[in-house]
Structure 1
Amino acid sequence: MPAPANPHPAPPSPAKPRRPADPPGTAARRAAMRLLDAVLRRGDPLEAALPAATRDLREANDRGLAHAIAAEVLRRLPDLDALIDTATRQPLPEDAKARTALRIALVQTLALGTPPHAAISTVLPLVDGGPRKLVHGVFGTLTRNAVTLPDVPTLPKSVADRWRAAWGDEMVTAAAAAIATQPPLDLTLADPAGLAPEGVALTPHHRRLVDAAPVTQLPGYAEGNWWVQDLAASLPARLLGRGPGTALDLCAAPGGKTMQLAAAGWDVTALELSPTRAARLHENLARTRSPAKVVIADALDWEPTDPIDALLIDAPCSATGIFRRHPDVLYRAHAGIIAEMAALQARLLDRAAGWVRPGGRLVYATCSLEPAEGEEQLTRFLADHPEYRLEPPIADELPAGITPHPDGHLRILPGTLAAQGGCDGFFIARLVRASA
């Protein structure tokens, strides 16, 4: 017989409340959090982390917003953390999700002009299942207190201490001021007479633009008449002079210096280790119609078949000199990375020194503010290679306001041309091999 029906059936289980939809814009903030995690926890470059971190964002504007938020957090990180620590009983761990969410919310309100209600509503979903009340409470306390960020950001202590020991207080002050604003857009012209945007010309082959339109929309882009390149980054190739002759550009991608050498009449070979970066190099050469031979190889294994007239080694480095455009380097370039890069530079210089013909030139450059990747490297190289001598730049080879060091090399520090928009940090040395 069938079992009798239960006269008192259990009431149905209540339906679980649906999780409310995230406010518009939350996905971009979630991508910004992934970017900050990649930089601060894993030590990845911000640009390299961008594709994976923004993979869920369909709109270019959202990807741009995620990048802008993360970059501004990195510019302002010590000051943001100082504010957060004033509003908590105990300091939050450096890698706590709550701290990152607060950094994102505060930087939007205090630096990017986002209304407080929009800033907090789009970060609270990032800490679902976590300390939402804490994040909301700390943010509310700080906004009610009308906190502000300093006009000049505070550099990370380890960076400030290192640069102060190398260059003094004035440089540290200038570096902090340099990171406060977006740098201008610098263009290198293949031909000063060609079509190019209006702007300040700090050298005949240069244009400096402020608040420019998107690069691809500027006059002369489609014609390949110019390429984006910081003024300081354009100087190493300029110090090799003009062709004819054979020139070798080591570590060549993305190609700015290769294109400069081609425009100056050299028969250029561009060497690049990374196939991905070499593809970008090919694209830039094609757009600017720059004749150059691209070789994908490791400079520590490859060598030219014949001596060359001009060698440019813009060596891999810590890249601390480009901190204005890439503030992530302030957190990634620690002492171990600097030592590793300096050792690689020494190997490249020693291997390539014999490739230059007697009487030829070698330019060694790094976009670094570390003496180990500049002055110390040059001293070691000259001691080990007495066949080379330093050839100082002369006045008409440099923009007004940039002068060589009395020893003959070129050191560009924060504060250089500050009134005109500044420059990236660089070290450049031009060397001549003795004639046989």
Structure 2
Amino acid sequence: MDWFKSAVTAVVVAILIGYIYKKWKGSRPLPVLTSGFADPRFKKVEQVFRENFESGAETGAGFAVYYKGELVVDLWGGYGNKKALLPWREITMSQAYSSSKGITALLVAKFVELGYLDYKKPVSHYWPEFAQNGKEDITVEMLLSHQAGLIGLDEPIQLSLLKTDYKRYTSILAAQKPFWKPGTAFGYHMLTWGLYVDVLLMKADPKNRTVDQILREEITEPFGIDFFQGTPTSEQYRIRPSVYMQSLWDQKYHLVSKVFWKSIKYRIFSGNGYDHIAERAVADLINDAPFDACMDYKLRLTPMSSFNGYGTARGIAKLYGIISNGGVHENKTLFKESTLDAMEVPLVKGLDLVIGVNNSFGPGLMLIKSPKGNTMFGHPGFGGQMGIADRQNNLGIAYLTNNLAMFDHIGRLYTRLSEALYDSLAEIQTGN
């Protein structure tokens, strides 16, 4: 227990240091900037959005909501770059981190609907080289739901191989041995999920397209979704390249979070080292400043659905809004109801062997309870990002921020906005 006590002490001390630093640093706060609109029924959301900035907890962010197919909240504010005083604008795009996974899971669902993929078939049916080192029986849905045991790579991969030596890139992935027997447990494939799923999509595509082409042609262009996996040069001017870390003082709520301490305790005492293995799968990110690496122009060009999607909250909310409104937009069908039903079916739930907390996944989408207690599906992203659909309440919700929370599974700033949203919804539904 000495290790655990030391960890607790370290966190408390770090938070106190964060408080002192914030007080010292915060003598000249930047002007609060917020823009956009909220339907009068959702004015409470706009108020909370502004309060996040006024408290100093937020730096730059966007929050958007579709309700019954209509954009009812579209807010943005703060700074994309504090030092240069560059504001977060209406067209500003931000990195979605792992919320990118949710959108690619939707793309896989589209391929299943088109008959290009089958959740129940082995991955090796589409990618024969994959059938080695104990991976022969891994199905598509096992890979999507983090059951494959492929959380890391014995040889960390260079993403540049995608373009310079694609055969070597896929061979490294295919040769990897699982870290546990596939199908017996699940653990969050932090970086490797997109490495494998992206190759699977390209192997299954009868048109031999790249992942960014598939996403663009099947979803984003036909339905006007402002989101990219591999951001083209023509759109990179919209990205504000600075990221920030929330102060430890602003994350002090973790001191009373049972989930946080359960995760810390698990990582210290489990002895499996899976979190460390998962974090080191991509060579490009093994350095002292991985977030700076993500801002690299060439890396942003690279389609990588584990963490490298860029877009606006408005665009992501629109996608999930279409899903939550029957899968149809302007008389065009994105998904059949049966496809959407499958997204809500849990394939795994319980202890996640990598992050050490209880989790639940459908076919690539995380299943999360709304403040009302019903099941939603989508995906959070590192630092507090979120893209999610609530079919029961016809909501598509998205939040992007460049002020990253280090320890959050689901961000506190997003949670405050979500609570305000559902409070407003309750008033609408009860007629108050």
Q: By the TM > 0.5 criterion, same fold? A: no
- The structure that has the greater radius of gyration is 1
TM-score (norm 1): 0.23
Q: Which has the higher contact order (CA 8 A, sep 6+)?
A: 2
